């Protein structure tokens, strides 16, 4: 129990970020969860195609939005009101006295979002039978509505943060688009398909939120590998890390799973890549925009 508390509980209690042990453990659990989720979807006969990706996108975004809502609740002390509810076993009071809902922070928030997505998917499949409306439209609509309700709880307190992230992210998307259009170094043929370009852009958005948070605000990087690059190269080190790593992962997926029979597996792994970029990026952006 001492080791578990040291490497898994204390980083949450004292808000010290990740360490080598919990990073490795969470990575293994994430890979296992991706594998099991894929197997489950195949048993249900759900195709991992563009319709599925469209439908699941609100739930990927929901992870970041819901995490930002928890940040605001924590800053305002609102989570204290949850102590007397059925969520009480998941409330942890950290070293500052703030109550943190473990279901809404990493890594348990991934489980929370999974159950929300699974429950709404089941509802969408049921409604598909009774309304004759394709499940992906219903599933997307439910997720989008939930996100709107969550976003209505947030606030905009820092216009500079809002504009800085949008401007730098737009510049990255423009550079990626130029590299694709001009096929610089043959990147369009090797890695910059339309879907890969969007995925790479999502991760550069995530990197941008980290850069802005560290360059202009008193935040710190919680992840071990990213923290090392930033300690050596400064806040811009996150770009040096993200760009080649994500491009390399996408190149590998396309190269090793190019057969048509592997398309669904490749698509699902790319969804996993998107989850690791869009969710954290949205949370970071919304947090600094709210000033919490």
Angle formed by the axes of helices 263-290 and 20-43, to 10°? 130
Per-residue pLDDT at 93: 66
Residues 230 and 261 in one domain: yes
| Last-in-domain residue among 95, 119, 154 | 154
The runs of H, that is alpha helices, within 108-236 are 108-131, 135-151, 159-181, 187-190, 194-216, 224-233
Please count the other Cβ atoms lying within 10 Å of the Cβ belonging to residue 137: 16
Residues 250 and 106 in one domain: no
| Last-in-domain residue among 119, 154, 189 | 154
pLDDT averages per 10-residue partition of the chain, 292 residues = 78 80 90 93 92 95 93 71 51 66 83 94 94 94 96 93 97 96 90 94 97 94 90 95 96 91 93 94 96 88
Residues 117 and 197 in one domain: no
Angstrom distance (rounded) from CA 31 to CA 24: 11
Angstrom distance (rounded) from CA 67 to CA 89: 19
Residues 164 and 275 in one domain: yes
Per-residue pLDDT at 55: 96
Per-residue pLDDT at 156: 93
Is omega for the bond preceding 256 within 30 degrees of 0, making it cis? no
101: helix, strand or coil: strand
Indicate the pTM of the whole model: 0.90
Tokens at residue 46, please?
């759900």
Residues 143 and 217 in one domain: no
Residues 32 and 111 in one domain: yes
Per-residue pLDDT at 83: 41
Residues 6 and 53 in one domain: yes
Residues 285 and 195 in one domain: yes
Residues 141 and 188 in one domain: no
Query: Are the beta carbons of 134 and 51 closer than 8 angstroms?
Result: yes
Q: What residue numbers bound the domain in which 253 lies?
A: 157-292
Of 127, 94, 118, nearest to 15 (Cα)?
A: 94
Residues 6+ apart with CB under 8 A from 80: 99
Residues 72 and 32 in one domain: yes
| Last-in-domain residue among 154, 187, 214 | 154
Per-residue pLDDT at 85: 53
Residues 119 and 258 in one domain: no
Number of domains in the chain: 2
Residues 13 and 89 in one domain: yes
């Amino acid at each position: 129990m001492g080791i578990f508390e040291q490497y898994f509980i204390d980083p949450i209690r004292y808000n010290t970020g990740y360490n080598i042990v919990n990073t490795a453990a969470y990575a293994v659990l994430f890979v296992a969860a991706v594998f099991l989720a894929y197997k489950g979807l195949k048993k249900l006969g759900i195709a991992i195609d563009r319709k599925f990706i469209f439908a699941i996108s609100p739930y990927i975004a929901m992870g970041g939005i819901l995490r930002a809502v928890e940040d605001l609740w924590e800053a305002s002390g609102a989570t204290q009101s949850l102590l007397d509810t059925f969520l009480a076993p998941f409330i942890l009071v950290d070293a500052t006295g703030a109550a943190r809902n473990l279901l809404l922070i990493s890594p348990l928030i991934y489980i929370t979002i999974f159950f929300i997505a699974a429950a709404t998917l089941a509802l969408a499949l049921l409604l598909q039978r009774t309304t004759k409306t394709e499940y992906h439209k219903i599933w997307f609509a439910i997720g989008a509505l939930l996100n709107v309700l969550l976003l209505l709880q947030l606030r905009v307190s820092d216009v500079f943060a809002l504009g800085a992230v949008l401007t730098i992210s737009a510049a990255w998307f423009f550079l990626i688009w130029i590299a694709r259009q001009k096929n610089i170094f043959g990147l369009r043929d090797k890695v910059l398909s339309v879907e890969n370009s969007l995925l790479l852009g999502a991760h550069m958005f995530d990197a941008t939120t980290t850069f802005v948070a560290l360059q202009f605000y008193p935040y710190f990087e919680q992840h071990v590998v990213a923290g090392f690059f930033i300690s050596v190269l400064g806040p811009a080190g996150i770009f040096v890390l993200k760009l080649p790593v994500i491009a390399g992962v996408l190149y590998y997926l396309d190269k090793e799973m190019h057969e048509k029979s592997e398309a669904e597996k490749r698509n699902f792994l790319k969804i996993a890549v998107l989850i690791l970029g869009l969710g954290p990026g949205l949370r970071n952006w919304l947090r600094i925009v709210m000033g919490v």
